[in-house]
Structure 1
Amino acid sequence: MLKSSCLSLLFVSLLACPLAHGQILQRELGNFDLKLGTSPTRSMAQGLVKPNAAGSFHGGLDLSHDSGFYVGQWSPSMGISPGKNLEIDSYAGFKQPFDQTLGYEVGMIRYSYPEVETLNSQEFFGGLTLLGSRFGVAFSNDPDKQNNTLFADLSGNQPFGIGVSMKYTTHQLNAPIAVDGGYVGSFTDWSLKLSRPFMGIDLDLIYSDSSLRGNDCSAYSGHNSQCDGLVTLKAVHTFY
């Protein structure tokens, strides 16, 4: 029943998006602000720690109050595409500006996978917004490891219209993993992303890497798509 309702809700958001500006449909409901869309609407709660590529079908909602409290749900994958499982990310938090240039945000996210026998995980996050740029930290407890993440999105200052975001995470495994020549009990990974819109296309240049090398990469289970250094050029065009 829960899975059915979540799918229905996300499907509604997908249908609503052609009416929206920038993939987001926004409506005011008294003191509440409701957003539906296929783009994440929450700055810290979406993509702070788990930047997995979204599937072909994705969407969510966000409901915030004038006081600063908010709740929402985001699905980076609805499990329709081959090799993709349904993922539901539910979050709640509080966001408040000190003034026009400085603000803060705290909250938590619960990651659930209804279609597979994977234990759910939780994450606590917080951050500051300074002159349009965001600096965050997050702590998550996955079934097999603990993760600590530092995050920076320098969108407040974009030379030549290029956005810059960086992420650095340490992973502590609950149990060391055997590899050729020893064991791996912890590792780090990081990424740097340069973003720029060009003729209606969102261009992303991403460099990612980790502290593991060679045979140790068999123990890698971090945020990047692979253990070794990787440069990715991503181009996305929105048709609605």
Structure 2
Amino acid sequence: MQDLNVAVKSKLAAVGASALLAAASVFAAAPAQAEVDISGNIGVASGYVFRGITNASENDGAAVQGGLDLTSDSGFYAGWWASNLGYGSPNLGTTVENDLYGGFSGEAGGLSYDIGALYYWYMDDSDASGLEPYLGLSFGGIDFGMHYMAEDVTWSNQGDMFFTVGTGFDLGEGFGLGITASYATYEDSGDFIPATAESGAFRSLDISLTKAMADLPAEMFATYIVGGKDRNGISQEDKIIIGFGYSF
């Protein structure tokens, strides 16, 4: 369940094939109006934590993650991101998460915005796959994010919302520091989650230290996750995730 960092995801990102092809055909039909760029990323991390749920991580072992992004200078974008999981669907054996997303980003009067939708796709488990629109805003060095679950899935109810606020600092010498806090609100019941103990809860505080590689488009990172609570009011453990990412 992708959210903006590789490996440590607040499940906006930081962000399928048919969407990429459709976007490419639209852009190709409008020459001299928008330039299109394709980029990618791949990385490995010591684990994959989704939105602060450290007690039941998406992967407690090595997580191999990567994606492709198609962006236009008009502001439209589309992309795909995937990660191996440390578990499978009990009956279907799903071991890979695919996130397909697209949207529009821009800037007005010093306010940066990003509006789009993300589809979590588990190829062998349609009950876990679902659509999540999102909105991101950035002003004065502070980033705000909001996600809305649009349908019932095995891990979330329709109407659940997830909020983030964060900022980052350039420490010099290639080092960077990022701090993000997250909060979730919950719908009481859905098709797969019949009861919820909490109407809302602090989910996590993520503190990330990054180091850019001098001669490569790559960076190392370490993230300390201060655990909050899940929808059942269960406190989550603190956890450290380390990893390496390469962009191309």
TM-score, normalisation: structure 1: 0.63
State the partner residue of 2:13.
none
> In the alignment, is the contact (CA less than 8 A) between 1:138 and 1:150 conserved in 2?
yes
1:87-132 deviation per Cα after TM superposition (whole angstroms, max 9, x unaligned): 1111110000125x42111000111100235242111111211234
Identity %: 23
Q: Could you list the per-position Cα deviations for residues 146-185 of structure 1 after superposition, in whole angstroms to 9, with x for gaps in the alignment?
A: 311111121157799532111111121424746xxxx747
Residue 223 of structure 2, aligned match among 191, 201, 204: 204
Structure 1 gap segments, 5+ residues each? 10-29, 40-46, 218-226
Pair 1:118 & 2:137 matched: no
Distance 1:198 1:71 in 2: 27
Q: How does 1:187-198 map to 2 (within 5 A)?
A: 187-197=200-210
Answering whether residue 174 of structure 2 is matched by residue 163 of structure 1, we say no
| Equivalent residue, structure 2, for 1:149 | 162
> Which structure is higher in helix share?
1
Q: How many residues align?
A: 188
What displacement does 1:33 show?
Answer: 1.1
Distance 1:119 1:196, change over 3 A: closer
Q: Is the 8 A contact 2:168 2:176 kept in 1?
A: no
One-letter code aligned to 2:222? L
Q: Return the alpha-carbon distance in structure 2 between the equivalents of residues 164 and 131 of structure 1.
A: 15
Q: Is the 8 A contact 1:37 1:61 kept in 2?
A: yes
> CA, structure 1 residues 210+140, in 2 after alignment: closer, same or farther (shift >3 Å)?
same
Q: Structure 2: which 5+ residue stretches go unaligned?
A: 1-15, 21-33, 44-48, 89-93, 213-218
How far did 1:36 drift? 1.4
